[in-house]
Homo-oligomer: A and B are copies of this chain.
Amino acid sequence: MVMPEEFHELARAVNNWGRWGPADERGTLNLLTPEAVRAGAALARHGRLFPLALPLSANGPQTGMVPGRLNPLRTMLSVNEPLTGDPADVSFSDDIVVMGLQAATHWDALAHATYAGRLYNGFPASTVTAAGAARCGADKIGAVAGRGVLLDVARVRGVDRLPGGHAITADDLDAAADLAGTTVAPGDILLVRTGHIQLLHAGDRTGYTYPSPGMSLGTVRWLRARDVAAVAIDTLTFEVFPCERPDLLLPVHLLHLVEMGLLQGQNFDLEALAADCGADGEYTFLLTATPEPFTGALGAPVAPTAVK
C-alpha cells in the first residue's frame, strides 16, 4: 500500500526523532519536567480521587477482533487454604490471571506500532522479537504524573456521547480547552472524552469496538504544536474507526507512536471525572498514571488516578 504524500508531509512535520538524543526511548514523556509535575500537583486542592481504570474481568472490552488479546481471566490457586490443614486456622486465598496487556485501560508502548521498518527514534523494527521490545517497551515509560486536562468533546458538542465514526477535529479540541478555561501547555496529559465508553457500560461490546469516534489526522499537528506529554481517550481504538481514508490504516497510531513518540492511552473511563468537572467547572487536576512496568511489553495496564 502506498501511503499518500500528505501523510509523509505530516509525518515530517510532527517528527521528534533525535530531539531527546539518539538513545531516547521515552519520547514526549521527556516533557514531564519537574515544573510540569509541580503544575499538576498544585491542582490537587480538594482531596477528591477519581480512579479511571476499567474493572479487570472476563467481561472486559475485548471481542476477539485482535486475536488472542484476551480479556482478563482470573482463576484461583487456592480458596481459604489453611496453613495447618485445619480450616479454623489461618487460611489464604490466591489467584492468577492471564490477559492481553492491552485488554483494558492501558498505555501503548512506543514500540507497539512500526512502519517502513522503523519504530520511534529510528530504532529498527527488528528490535521487536519473540522476546518482546528491546527498545521502547512499556518498561521504559517509567513514572507518569503531571497536569491532567479533561477535554470533554462530547460536552462541547452538546451530546452525551459522540456518534460512532465521529472524527475529532482540532476545532473540537480548541472548544474543549475553552470549556476547560485553560491553555494546553507543554507537558500536559490530555484526557479526551467522547462518552463512547457508555456503550461498554451498557454491555454493548460490539458497538464499543466499532464504529468508534476518535482522534483524527487533523489533531496530530495540534498536539505536536502544544507539546503534550501524553493523550488518553475513552475508546478502544484511540483514533476514529473506521479510518478516515481507505489508503491510511490507523495513521494516528503511526504519527503518535512512531513519529512523535507520544504516549497514548485507551479505555480510560472518564465518566465520573467528567461529571465532577462539569459540576465544578474545574477541568484540570493532578493525574498520576504510572503503568505496570512489564519488561519488554508492547503495552501495559495502568490504573490512572485523577486528584482534584
Tallying the copies of this chain within the complex gives 4
> Residue A195 at the B interface, CB < 8 A?
no
| Contact of A101 with B96 in the complex, beta carbons under 8 Å | yes
Contact of A111 among B89, B93, B249, B307 (CB under 8 A): B93
* A74 contact set on B, CB distance < 8 A: 101, 132, 294-297
Give the distance in Å from the alpha carbon of A53 to the alpha carbon of B249 in the complex: 35
* A50 contact set on B, CB distance < 8 A: 143
Give the distance in Å from the alpha carbon of A251 to the alpha carbon of B250 in the complex: 46
* A83 contact set on B, CB distance < 8 A: 249-250
> Residue A280 at the B interface, CB < 8 A?
no
CB distance from A203 to the nearest CB of B (A): 14
Contact with B along A215-249 (1 / 0, CB 8 A): 00000000000000000000000000000000001
* A176 contact set on B, CB distance < 8 A: none
Contact with B along A250-273 (1 / 0, CB 8 A): 110110000000000000000000
Contact with B along A17-60 (1 / 0, CB 8 A): 00000000000000011111110010011111111011111110
Nearest residue in B to A75 (C-beta to C-beta)?
Answer: B75
